[in-house]
Amino acid sequence: MADERDTAREDAAGAGDPGADATVIHEAQDPDEGAGERIAALIEQDAPPTELARELEEVEPADAADALEALEPEATAEVLDEMTMGAAADALAHMELPLAASVLTDLNPAEGARLIARMDPDDAADLLQTLPRDVVDAVLRALPRKTAAALGKLVLYDPESAGGIMTTEFLKLRSSSRVADALAYLRQRRSRLEGSDIYSIYCIDDEGRLEGVLDLRSLLVADPDQRIGEIMDREVDALRPDLDREEVARAFDRYDFFALPVVDENRRVLGVVTVDDVIDIIRAEHTEDTFKQVGAGKTESVYAPVRIKLRGRVPWLLVNLATTQIPAVIVIAFSSVIDSITLLAAVMGMIANQSGNAGQQSLAVTLRGLVLGEVRPERVAPLVVREVIVGVVSGAVTGLIVAGLMLALRSAGWIEADWRLGLIVALAMTGAVSIGCLTGAVMPILMKRMGFDPATASTIFLTTVTDAISFLSLLGLAWLLKGWLIGGSPAGG
């Protein structure tokens, strides 16, 4: 893997090819199916790393990363070693972080440093933060001093803050510069700007403090003798480096930003957060919230080491084991009623399932509202009332359907039950589903007010509540009306 190989192949690609300048349009949403099939066949055949590397260089980095993730880390390192430096760095940046970290660990520090140096600074920092401390130190020592210093600072930021997701590659101009000088400066840097997403140019004073922002169009149409300070916009939105990434994403979503500078307390620009970083945030937060709801580790990925998976899951499984004792105690307490009316055992699971699903629906809607900032303190009561009404209506509808089904099965001679048991099932279903919707709406709001992440293990606690209420409502009603159910007086016993 060498930089000279990049140049040699670029020269070869354009030499003697009459179609080199031809426009090629691809469907943006779909990968190249033909290339994908060829790569899959090469992997299946255990093709030499050189052959697989040539094929991966011809596809998009994200597709190359998918292919590399199908290999063992050692094999991935061999393939990357045969790819051009730029292609290898782009593919590594698109891989799942645990896998990319495993691959980088298998490389010697010098090779790892060359790959890190070709990545965008924010991607490089994310990868370095997943590596063991000794590997990070070795890679940083192998990097050029200026690059190592910049990445060393990025690694210190919290990965879930604006500082942890910003890139340090951005354009800045002195506000005292002439437009003609600024354009000449940009032309001199055109090789470094190729492939970069430049949304804005940040204007600074002689002390390096942010004074304004300038878009490329304004720069191109301005008079060459004008000063940058005369054409820049002095109203600048900026982020603090310690701002949580969820708040960053919310700001981009609400105000349609494409890029925002990150500034320190002295108004010096530390970096820039762009809209593609926000897309990564949204995906990461969605994944994290999904994992939290079911008690999986928030940093766990598909290919995470077994110890990481166990460390994230086992504690919540133990919590789940403890909370499930509550429904179990309820069932044991009413075991005599179940012995007398065995059909209750079949209906219990049905009511618990409906209540749990209704609660999950309310939970999903409420979590989404909290994430998007739609749930305001003064609007909590109407939200809860709506969810309870939905629970009552949907519970009554499903309960009556189950009661009707039970009567139909009795008429067919398949079960022994009359309208009285059907009525109790309908009432229990209505109550359980209503409580499920209430719990699903209230639980994340309460957790947020208590200072916890509203998504944390919500599913585990919700399931406990809905199971307990479902069993208690059905078995409690059956116990209270046991005499009536079997033909006697409506009294418990």
Model confidence at 493: pLDDT above 60: no
- Total of domains in the chain: 3
Q: What percent of the chain has a predicted confidence (pLDDT) above 90?
A: 40
Closest by CA position to 153, among listed 140, 172, 139: 140
CB 228 within 8 A of CB 179: yes
Residue 305 lies in a domain: no
Model confidence at 398: pLDDT above 60: yes
Cα dihedral: 364, 161, 311, 280 (round 10): 60
Residue 52: the pLDDT is 92
> In CATH, what number is assigned to the domain containing residue 46?
1.25.60.10
Q: How many CA atoms lie within 13 A of 23 on its CB side?
A: 1
Band of residue 315 on the pLDDT scale cut at 50, 70, 90: confident
Band of residue 316 on the pLDDT scale cut at 50, 70, 90: confident
Band of residue 456 on the pLDDT scale cut at 50, 70, 90: low
pTM of this prediction?
Answer: 0.61
CB 443 within 8 A of CB 384: no
101-152: per-residue pLDDT in tens?
888 888 889 999 999 999 988 889 989 988 888 889 999 999 999 899 989 8
Are residues 142 and 178 both part of a single domain? no
Mean pLDDT of the chain: 84
185-231: per-residue pLDDT in tens?
888 877 666 656 677 899 999 888 999 999 988 998 999 999 999 99
351-381: per-residue pLDDT in tens?
999 999 999 999 988 888 887 778 888 788 8
Average pLDDT over residues 426-445: 93
State which H helix or E strand residue 79 sits in: helix 73-82
Are residues 331 and 183 both part of a single domain? no
Are residues 206 and 147 both part of a single domain? no
Residue 13 lies in a domain: no
Please tell me the distance from the alpha carbon of residue 148 to that of residue 167, in angstroms, as a whole number. 14
Closest by CA position to 205, among listed 152, 252, 267: 267
Please tell me the distance from the alpha carbon of residue 262 to that of residue 268, in angstroms, as a whole number. 8
Residue 293 lies in a domain: no
Average pLDDT over residues 290-317: 67
> In CATH, what number is assigned to the domain containing residue 427?
1.10.357.20
Closest by CA position to 240, among listed 273, 210, 263: 263
DSSP state of 244: B
Q: Residue length, the chain?
A: 493
Are residues 187 and 49 both part of a single domain? no
Cα 330–Cα 332–Cα 335 angle in degrees, nearest 5: 110
Task: Report the chain's terminal Cα–Cα distance, integer Å.
Answer: 82
| Helix, strand, coil distribution of the chain in percent, nearest 5 | 65, 5, 25
Identify any residues that bridge with 486 across adjacent strands, giving them in sequence order: none
Residue 19 lies in a domain: no
Are residues 120 and 262 both part of a single domain? no
Residue 484: the pLDDT is 84
Residue 22 lies in a domain: no
Model confidence at 299: pLDDT above 70: no
